[in-house]
Amino acid sequence: MEYRNIGSLRTSVLGIGGLHFGTLCDQAAATRIVHRALDAGVNFIDTAPLYGNGYSEGFIGNAIRGRRHDVVVATKVGLEPSKAKDGSFGVSVIPLSKKNILSSIEKSLRALGTDYIDLYQVHAFDSGIPIEDTMATLDGLVQEGKIRCIGCSNYLRGELGKATAAIRKGGASFVSFQAHYNLIERRAEQEVLPDCLKYGVGIICNRPLARGILTGKYKTGQLLPQGSRAVTSYRIRRWLSESTLLLVTALEELAQRHGRTVAEMAIAWLLAQRGISVVLAGARNLQQLEVNIRATGWILSNEDLAEVDVVIEKMNLMPQVKAMPETLFEK
């Protein structure tokens, strides 16, 4: 397993995303995945109060009990689950006031069963609270020892610069930026990655497999695979255009010529991009996790990367993949 630095943290290049712990994964499955990942050298686990309809942090806390010091734990503040009368879950935006941040971190610490968080991330930019106040509160938690490093996610162009300018002298600054980024969702290349490189902020990629589309399981002219997320998610189905699926098929054929899967290629491609620190890959079972782990051993050469570009450009899809829609609250 390769490791890279995010601020003072030493993290594996592959991270476990806890989005579905508590929904698609029960506690037993989550524990199996986390333990196997740790045994393979994966030390980065990312979660949030929002994830798993509010259960993810607790599931992870249970899974890492007795192994806390083997793990770089990352969680977030700013979004929490809300339950409607019909039992469905939505998203509640929590203003980033000092009171709310302090309350949220205490809840996360209890759920995770720890007295410190390695990477505490602002889940989304809050224009209603002065960014200076948010940064000062986070810095206070760093000084107190409850946080080792701070990061952000879902910021738009220019917002990272605002946060950087708001840091008081000697205060903690963001060391990471979590972004949606993959082979068919590349708006981040124009929107946020340049700012990350400018300010020396490590990039954490989530949705590396584009909600499962880059596994190759969805095919043109075929029914949706039974049990796949697209069966119940309109948000995924709206991505399954013929042109996107044809692109995935072409990438899959390229990966197979290397004796690899398209999922492995998607992760390896991200790890070859400048400024990438961690690729977060969710797994619903051990089989999916093993594919993600194998991908970290594939180091793409410049020639390999050029082949990928040729496939995309040949299909005249480069403008499309750089403008795929992003939705902040998308699960």
Contact (CB, 8 A) for 142 and 148: yes
> DSSP H helical segments within the chain, as ranges?
27-39, 56-63, 98-112, 131-144, 159-165, 188-191, 193-199, 234-237, 242-257, 262-271, 286-295, 302-314, 318-321
The catalytic residue positions are: 51
Return the bridge partners of 73, or none.
Answer: 45
Residue 7 contacts residue 202 (beta carbons within 8 Å): yes
Rounded CA gap, 213 and 190, in Å?
22
In whole angstroms, how far apart are CA 220 and each of 213, 280, 283, 318? Answer: 12, 27, 24, 20
Instruction: Tell me which residue has tokens 């698609």.
Output: 24
Q: Calculate the CA 78 to chain-centre distance.
A: 16
CA distance 309 to 250: 11
Phi, psi at 271, each rounded to 5°: -65, -15
CA distance 211 to 17: 12
3-state secondary structure of 156: coil
**Residue burial 104-129, b: 16+ Cβ < 10 Å; e: rest:** bbeebbebbbbebbbbbbbbbbbeeb
Exposure on the CB side of residue 9, measured as CA atoms within 13 A: 30
Of 63, 74, 126, 60, nearest in space to 105 by CA? 74
